[in-house]
Amino acid sequence: MKLLLIEDNTAMQTTLQRSFERRGMQVVLCGDGARALDRWRASVPDVVLLDLTLPGQDGLSVLSAARAEGLTTPVLILTARGTVGDRILGLNTGADDYLAKPFDLDELEARVRALCRRSATRPAEGLPSPEFCGLRADSASGAVYLNGTALDLTVREAALLRALLVAPGQAVAKERLSDLVFAGETQVQADAIEVVVYRLRKKLVGTAAQLVTLRGLGYLLKDGA
């Protein structure tokens, strides 16, 4: 996992970089808001940790510009501004999560990993949208289309289908799919993914794609035409 940490406090940079690298993550540092967008494009991170008070350009301006440009990387705002109004403003600007300083490092890691799991079901920035048997996952919205028409899917069904569209014909483990479909949720029952599979399979009836169960291996999409 690669993180982009946009933070001008050198002590905070050092602490977070050491903490995340001990946990096996790669950390790219940027301490200048004016250079943050260039670093974002160049590093292609899995998650961005963004401070709001930055020299050169404030964090909200960086975030707004990134979203306007089409950069969809999950963003977790780290800031001393902890009021409800500040959180709402950050989320409305395009942040995915918000953590007020001071924070617990274990909680921060848990939030980062949850964001990364969710984003794993989305096509990577700059790559074409996955397509198979007339199905296409839109890279911007996350919606799935069949021959140009949006499918009526729940959030979990769409997440499952996007994950399978990444590699049609290849089995994806049940546990992996459960992590992606129920990202960030707690107390998920072991067979919950099977319910989502059952419902999605019914919605694919009449299409050329077939959702297949491989016992002991997981699930895959194949051309059933």
* 8 and 113 share one domain: yes
Q: Which two tokens stand for residue 134?
A: 């007339």
Q: Is residue 161 located within the same domain as residue 86?
A: no
Q: At what angle do helices 84-93 and 59-69 cross, to 10 degrees?
A: 30
Domain termination residue (choose one: 75, 95, 119) = 119
Structural domain count, the chain:
2
- State the residue range of the domain holding 9: 2-119
Closest CA to 217 of 181, 170, 178: 170
Residues 210 and 169 in one domain: yes
Which residues 6+ apart lie within 8 Å of 104 measured at CB?
none
- Pairwise CA distance, residues 104 & 163, whole Å: 31
Kindly state whether residues 97 and 153 are assigned to the same domain: no
- Name the residue with higher pLDDT: 155 or 33: 33
β-partners of residue 197 are none
- pTM recorded for the entire structure: 0.55
pLDDT in tens, 33-85: 999 988 898 888 889 999 988 999 988 889 888 887 777 889 999 887 656 67
Look at the block and give the residue holding tokens 């998650």. Answer: 47
Contacts of residue 151, Cβ cutoff 8 Å, sequence gap at least 6:
135, 143, 144, 145, 158, 161, 203
164 and 188 fall within a common domain: yes
CATH number at residue 104: 3.40.50.2300
Alpha helices (H) along 56-138: 59-69, 84-93, 105-119
Do 141 and 161 lie in a common domain?
Answer: yes
Same domain? For 93 and 174 the reply is no
What values do phi and psi take at 93, rounded to 5?
-75, -20
**Which residue, of 81, 96, 119, is where some domain finishes?**
119
Q: Are 154 and 183 in the same domain?
A: yes
Note the pLDDT tens digit of each residue in 93-146.
Answer: 888 888 888 888 999 999 898 888 776 555 444 445 668 999 988 765 667 889
In terms of domains, do 9 and 99 share one? yes
Q: Are residues 107 and 190 in the same domain?
A: no
